[in-house]
Structure 1
Amino acid sequence: MAIVLHNYWRSGTSYRTRIALNLKGLDYRQVTLDLRTGAQGSPAFRALSPQGLVPALEVDGTVLTQSPAILEWLEERYPEPPLLPKEPTERAIVRAMAAIIGCDIHPLNNLRVLKALKGDLSASQEQVNAWIARWIGDGFAALEQYIARHGHGFAYGDAPTLVDCYLVPQVYSAERFGVDLAPYPRVVAAAEQARRLPAFIAAHPDNQPDAD
């Protein structure tokens, strides 16, 4: 089965998708789109992804979009190694932790929003950085408590789960924008644990074919 990932090296949603693909041990070909030049808005890409957003995953003639749906599909289609616990309540907790990032941090700090802050609201870079830090801080403060309750080396339990697929790219983004992570030692420790694994190393933005 041929798998093609349309993505951008520094996109957090693309990063989390690469991690999941790597953890599942899947081979895939990358097609890169430079979000800075607006390549994602081309008619050819919008024919695949109507929103013009990355990632998009082509699998045997079907195109999957939205990284949460893609990661859930990967888990259902390739259940080993598992990225969700077996017990329903535990699965719900993992999904909730991932959603803190996927729903409440990342969407507020993605490229479209940051461009709108600068272009539509004339925000300065200092104001944009404060905006970024605010939403990362709110989410990481909650995750710090979840990891204290449920983490055992990784964000949840003692092996990588969906949470780590979301967490590592978000920590990368926080570092990139100079967010103070000192108040979130458990978040940082869980991310560092995951980043040591080959699947995470291979998915790192600097290791992608379109990286600057």
Structure 2
Amino acid sequence: MPGVMTSPILFDYWRSSASYRVRIALNLKGVAYERVSINLAGGAQKEADYRARNPQGLVPMLEMDGLRLTQSLAIIDYLDAAIAEPPLLPADPGERAHVRALALAIACDIHPLNNLRVLKYLKDPLGHEEAERDEWYLHWLREGLAPLEAMAAPHAGRFLFGDSPTLADICLIPQLYNARRFALPLDAYPTLLRADAEATKHPAFAAAHPDNFAP
């Protein structure tokens, strides 16, 4: 029916890091949304109906403003451009580049190597045992978090950059959630832990936590 406004619909999986990022961003921007669970563990992302909506067969996907938006950082960029407050990136070009670099260090350098589909491929057909897959996961976490700590520390405040949450924190918190799932010691990353502690107290982050959506 023309003129009828519909709520944004987020297609996600409760424990997906990329979906977790988008839930945080939607909450920070004050966007109410409907949620459709896509069970990655059960292969729902490969079903024809979902592939017709999203040819990559990945989550998250956000249907909003008549658009089908995919890729978590692209979705967050859209939200930040469409809804001015609160800004998720600094206005200063240099600071903006710095925050983007922190976010990309997580979203491009750590997360893809530890994605569920990568871990599944290590198991079958490559035949790696669970202990080997866990060590793979932990290796790439350590490789990524140590330089991230060094990058963030000089400009961090309560959060990874300054005293307000940014795109960098949106990417960090899901990654640390995963690090704890795999029992990675985090004491070597005090800057990251400080930002994580602040985010834990923030309603937008707390409401997006995977435990709120566990089946």
TM-score range, shorter chain: over 0.9
1:63 aligns with 2:68: yes
Amino acid paired to 2:89? L
Task: Give CA-to-partner distance per residue, 1:151-208, whole Å, 9 cap, x none.
Answer: 1010111100000100000000000111121221221221111111000010000112
Q: Which SS does the other structure have where 1:36 is aligned?
A: coil
**Corresponding residue to 1:158 among 155, 163, 167:** 163
* Helix, strand or coil at the partner of 2:36: strand
Residue 111 (structure 1) aligned with residue 131 (structure 2): no
Q: Secondary structure at the match of 1:113?
A: helix
Q: For structure 2, which runs of at least 5 residues remain unmatched after alignment? A: none
CA deviations 1:118-150 (Å, max 9, x no partner) are 112211111111111111111111111122111
Residue of structure 1 equivalent to 2:179: 174
Check if 1:52 corresponds to 2:57.
Answer: yes
Instruction: Say how many residue pairs are matched.
Output: 210
CA distance in 1, matches of 2:191, 2:66: 41
Note if 1:27 corresponds to 2:32: yes
Query: Residue type of the partner of 2:79?
Result: L
Q: Does 1:194 align with 2:188?
A: no
Distance 1:79 1:142 in 2: 31
Instruction: Pick the aligned partner of 1:18 from 15, 23, 28.
Output: 23
Q: Which amino acid is 2:131 matched to? A: E
Alpha-carbon deviation of 1:76?
A: 0.5
Aligned residue type for 2:191: R
Q: Distance in 2 between matches of 1:61 and 1:103?
A: 28
TM-score after normalising by structure 1: 0.97
Provide the rounded CA distance (Å) in 2 between the counterparts of 1:152 and 1:189.
9
Q: Show structure 1 runs of 4+ deviating over 6 A.
A: none
1-structure distance, mates of 2:185, 2:129: 19
CA distance in 1, matches of 2:123, 2:48: 26
| Per-residue CA distance 1:62-119 (angstroms, 9 max, x = gap) | 1000001001111101121011001011101000000000000000001100000111
Look up the match of 1:148.
153
SS at match of 2:41: helix
Alignment root-mean-square deviation, CA? 0.9
- Alpha-carbon distance between aligned partners in 2 of 1:197 and 1:85, rounded to the nearest angstrom: 19
TM-score normalised by length of structure 2: 0.95
Measure, in 1, the Cα distance between the counterparts of 2:91 and 2:118. 36
Secondary structure at the residue paired with 1:105?
helix
**Structure 1 residue 15 displacement after superposition:** 0.2
